Amino acid sequence: MKYIDLHIHTTASDGTLSPAQCVEHALERGLAAIAICDHDTLLGCRDAERRGAELGLEVVPGVEISTKYGGSVHILGYYINTENPGLLSRLSEIVHDRDLRGEKMCRLMQGDGIDISYEQMKERFGEVVGRPHFAQVLMEQGVVSTVNEAFRNLISRGQKYYMPRYTINIEDSLELIAFAGGVPVLAHPFQYNKSDEELRELIEHCMEHGLRGIECIYSGYTSQMTEYLSALCREYALIPTGGSDFHGTLKPHIRMACAGGEGKGPIVPYTILEGLKAEKGM
């Protein structure tokens, strides 16, 4: 049986393995294919695809976009054209706004005597600087002792160093992905604290704007949760997908390939990718 992982973050956003290292790690984990789904950037896709071609691992170009629909909702896009000008320019606007937000967060921290500079963070972490990077720096500075503590006490909404950032609306993100030739998928649906009725409302709304799939297999999701989401896919004729949301050491509890509640071995079968490919006519 061949296994895959369709939700992986690299150093291009807030993962801690480079795109090439993600490919190498996937092969160590015995996977047949992975999808790179960095937040707001496509920069990791090309390196991963190149390394994948060298080593014989299938790499799917992807992206994860944070959007707003009531609260925050994440949309994944698979098989996007990584050269699409519309997608690239919209993503660079989002990244620019991340920079403005990050600079403000740094100033708040500097005001409390924390030795932090946004310029250095950009140099170190690359194009997409996110709150997990702030958590890491706060930990290194001895302000907190874990990444979780930073999120729990300092950088989540309503807290001392939190600054909101611009997020594109859900309709735009779905359409942007579709225009770039991608397959839009609703990421980790249990993250949004929605009732069955609310989740259906979200799915139906997204479908009006081109949603084609739901992430059914995900780290921490039990087989009952996966079955519930898979039943929604069958009902709405959507494609089930699955991935771990691997971030390397920034989310140490998540292992590549181990999407699912059991967390022991690979769990997303290759047939899931065949469903995505069929949607793309591949």
**Closest by Cα among 112, 113, 116 to 102:** 116
Q: Which CB atom, from 131 or from 212, has the smaller least distance to Zn ion?
A: 131
Query: Are 105 and 114 contacting, i.e. CB atoms less than 8 angstroms apart?
Result: no
Segment 66-105, which members bind ligand AMP (CB under 6 A)? 66
CA dist., res. 258 & res. 151, Å (int): 24
Instruction: Tell me the number of residues near Zn ion by CB under 5 A.
Output: 2
**Closest by Cα among 122, 148, 124 to 135:** 148
Query: Are 4 and 31 contacting, i.e. CB atoms less than 8 angstroms apart?
Result: yes
Segment 249-268, which members bind ligand AMP (CB under 6 A)? 251
CA dist., res. 242 & res. 257, Å (int): 10
Choosing from 6, 11, 12, 14, the residue that interacts with Zn ion (CB under 5 A) is: 14
Query: Are 154 and 131 contacting, i.e. CB atoms less than 8 angstroms apart?
Result: no
Q: Which CB atom, from 65 or from 138, has the smaller least distance to Fe ion?
A: 65
List, in sequence order, every residue forming a beta bridge with 218; answer none if it has no partner. 243
CA dist., res. 275 & res. 240, Å (int): 8
Choosing from 151, 218, 221, 246, the residue that interacts with ligand AMP (CB under 6 A) is: 151
Provide the mask over 44-83, with x wherever binding to Fe ion is found by CB under 5 A and - wherever it is not.
Answer: --------------------x---------x---------
Choosing from 38, 40, 49, 245, the residue that interacts with Fe ion (CB under 5 A) is: 245
Choosing from 29, 131, 188, 255, the residue that interacts with ligand AMP (CB under 6 A) is: 131
DSSP 8-state code for residue 246: B
Element at 77 (helix H, strand E):
strand 71-78
Residue 38 touches Zn ion, criterion: CB under 5 A: no
Least separation in angstroms between residue 165's CB and Zn ion is 14
Provide the mask over 171-200, with x wherever binding to Fe ion is found by CB under 5 A and - wherever it is not.
Answer: ----------------x-------------
Residues 6+ apart with CB under 8 A from 40: 13, 63, 64, 65, 66, 91, 94, 95, 98, 128
Choosing from 19, 52, 130, 189, the residue that interacts with ligand AMP (CB under 6 A) is: 130
Q: What does DSSP say about strands 33-36 and 58-69: parallel, antiparallel, or unpaired?
A: parallel
Q: Which CB atom, from 18 or from 238, has the smaller least distance to Zn ion?
A: 18
Q: Which residues bind Zn ion (CB under 5 A)?
A: 9, 14
Q: Which residues bind Fe ion (CB under 5 A)?
A: 64, 74, 187, 245
Q: Which residues bind ligand AMP (CB under 6 A)?
A: 14, 39, 66, 130-132, 147-148, 151, 251
